Amino acid sequence: MNESKEKTVAELKSQIKRLNSKAGQMKMDLHDLAEGLPKDYEKLMEVAAKTYEIYHQLEQLKQQLKQLECHV
């Protein structure tokens, strides 16, 4: 693996780690909001959309990492 690929793999792993942490927090926030329903129901769609987007980004980054690691 050349140096630039190593850096890219390391960067992706770092991004995934940070996003995993954020995704976990969003999942807990969504869970807490759901448990409190019907209170704050108007926040539900916004929090759910943000949670979805983070998990979508996370999946894309994992796919990129997998492709990079397969082309070593």
Specify the DSSP element, H or E, that contains 54: helix 44-70
- Cα separation, 63 vs 68, whole angstroms: 9
The pLDDT score that the predictor gives to residue 6 is 73
Q: CATH no. for residue 16?
A: 1.10.287.660
**Domain housing 64:** 3-70
Tell me the pTM: 0.83
Residues in the chain: 72
Specify the DSSP element, H or E, that contains 21: helix 3-35
Specify the DSSP element, H or E, that contains 42: none
DSSP assigned state of 37: T
The pLDDT score that the predictor gives to residue 70 is 87
In tens digits, the chain (72 residues) has pLDDT values of 566 777 789 999 999 999 999 999 999 999 999 999 999 999 999 999 999 999 999 999 999 999 998 876
The pLDDT score that the predictor gives to residue 69 is 86
Q: At what angle do helices 3-35 and 44-70 cross, to 10 degrees?
A: 160
